[in-house]
Homo-oligomer: A and B are copies of this chain.
Amino acid sequence: MKIHDIAGFPNPFRVRIVLAEKGLASQIEFVNVDLPAAEHKQSAFLAKNPTGTVPVLELDDGTYISECTAITEYLDNLDGNSTLTGKTPREKAMIHMMQKRAESELIDAIGIYFHHATPGLGPQLQAYKSPEWEGRQEWGQRHRDRAVQGMRYFDEVLKGRPYVAGEQFSMADTTVLGGLLFAGFAQIAVPPECTALLEWKARMYERPSVKNPA
């Protein structure tokens, strides 16, 4: 299997944690995608993933799987022991609900701020992400506020349980970790009063898969 991505970036981080959790890192060949050069917006990459996002998992038969949720479902179910995406209907539901909240309230919100209200990854990618338009600052700043609200929400959640979706580490934790990594890129600090979120983050970074992802 191959992963087309770029090390150290938020969405690739989500899947690289999964690879480490599942002991699959050694079975993967990584192919670097030059995000600042907008390689993922060019036709060769769009043939792999028409949405133009990383990471993309390439199976040995040439099938391409994109979207972190889909890649995680694939990798987590290979061994018939779906520890990260849940086993019971309730576990699956809680994990998918919380991971989606983390996408919309953290990753998506931060992405809008980063690509519209800041120079983002530079002018080559910006031409695709946010060509000059009226209101981009206002729109971006509004989503910065939304991301901070998202942090406060996850802080509340983590006051009541050890992991984002319940009693066990799951895909939902990987999405929040991706969100906080992205927040760091975008220089959006976690409010210091969000002690449960900060404590959870510190605890996550003691986990081998997070400390040393694939």
Contact = CB atoms under 8 A, between A and B. Distances in A.
Size category, A interface: 35 or more
Interface stretch (A117-125, A131-139, A177-185, A205-213): A131-139
A67 B100 contact: yes
A89 interface: yes
Interface string A83-123: 00010111011111100110011000000000000000000
A135 B59 CA distance: 42
A86 B65 CA distance: 15
Interface string A9-51: 0000000000000000000000000000000000000000011
Nearest to A57: B93
Nearest to A90: B74
Given A97-B70, A138-B133, A139-B133, A63 B90 contact: yes
A77 B51 contact: no
Contacts of A158: none
Interface string A53-76: 000010100010111011101110
Nearest to A142: B133
Contact of A105 (B51, B86, B135): B51
In order of increasing CB-CB distance, the 5 nearest A-B pairs are A135-B135, A70-B97, A74-B93, A70-B96, A77-B89
5 contacts: A51-B104, A70-B93, A70-B100, A77-B88, A77-B92
Given A51-B104, A134-B138, 4 more contacts: A67-B100, A70-B94, A70-B95, A78-B89
